[in-house]
């Protein structure tokens, strides 16, 4: 199992002085029943823009459990991606659906394509992915990019998967911001998905 994540949350006391409200592990860590070692450490999320800031807070990670951010919102999480071997995990469509359901992405199981990574998925968001430790490969439709510690990916609503071909967990930080596909791109994506489903 990977090392726990420390989360420090600041706020204000009743006189307006800046203080630490919480310091410890985040209350929500989602682990996969299908893929040992996969962990989503939910750090924070927002649900509007601009986000109202109060002196204290209601725990936002208990209110939002989807991978994608809330509408007009953001999500930050740390994800541990376990080793998968050179060919990625061997999941069938139902196993992919079960894993996706745990993180609020069940509809992405329909993108299951034999011969490609079984966890290809898409969210309607702009995501910043930062490799904190280890190495990972970003898979797109028919290309891939090898990433190392310190590399940053700007993920712009594309279908993708992450595959760890090393012997060690890769830890990444993800900041997701709500987005909306432009109408022409949305049509193209629907046609693309229909072609994939028909193959």
- Mean pLDDT in residue range 91-113: 77
What is the extent of the structural domain holding 150? 21-198
User: Mean pLDDT across the chain, nearest whole number?
Assistant: 90
**Which pLDDT tens digit goes with each residue over 155-189?**
999 999 999 999 999 999 999 999 999 999 999 99
CA atoms 138, 155, 10, 30: torsion sign = negative
Q: Is the pLDDT of residue 61 over 90?
A: yes
**Which pLDDT tens digit goes with each residue over 31-55?**
988 888 999 999 999 999 999 999 8
Tell me whether residue 4 is in a domain.
Answer: no
User: In this predicted structure, what is the pLDDT of residue 183?
Assistant: 94
Tell me whether residue 3 is in a domain.
Answer: no
Looking at the 3D structure of the chain, how many domains does it have?
1
pTM of the model: 0.91
- Mean pLDDT in residue range 6-22: 96
- Mean pLDDT in residue range 72-81: 96
User: In this predicted structure, what is the pLDDT of residue 193?
Assistant: 81
End-to-end CA distance of the chain: 38
Indicate the pLDDT class of residue 2, thresholds 50, 70 and 90: low
User: In this predicted structure, what is the pLDDT of residue 115?
Assistant: 72
Tell me whether residue 82 is in a domain.
Answer: yes
User: What dihedral do alpha carbons 57, 58, 64, 65 form, nearest 10°?
Assistant: 110
Tell me whether residue 14 is in a domain.
Answer: no
Tell me whether residue 6 is in a domain.
Answer: no
For position 168, which CATH number holds? 2.60.120.10
């Amino acid at each position: 199992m990977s090392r726990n994540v420390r989360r420090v949350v600041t706020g204000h006391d009743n006189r307006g002085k800046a203080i630490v409200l919480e310091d410890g592990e985040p209350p929500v860590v989602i682990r996969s029943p299908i893929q040992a070692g996969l962990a989503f450490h939910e750090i924070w999320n927002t649900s509007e823009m601009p986000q109202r800031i109060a002196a204290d807070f209601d725990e936002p990670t208990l209110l939002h459990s989807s991978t994608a951010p809330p509408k007009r919102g953001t999500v930050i999480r740390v994800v541990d991606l376990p080793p998968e071997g050179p060919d990625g995990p061997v999941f069938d469509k139902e196993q992919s659906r079960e894993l996706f359901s745990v993180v609020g992405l069940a509809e992405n199981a329909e993108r299951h394509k034999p011969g490609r990574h079984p966890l290809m998925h898409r969210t309607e968001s702009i995501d910043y992915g930062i490799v904190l430790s280890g190495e990972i490969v970003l898979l797109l439709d028919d290309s891939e990019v090898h990433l190392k510690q310190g590399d940053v990916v700007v993920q712009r609503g594309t279908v993708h998967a992450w595959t760890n071909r090393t012997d060690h967990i890769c830890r990444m930080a993800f900041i997701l911001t709500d987005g909306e596909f432009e109408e022409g791109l949305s049509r193209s994506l629907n046609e693309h998905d229909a072609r994939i489903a028909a193959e």
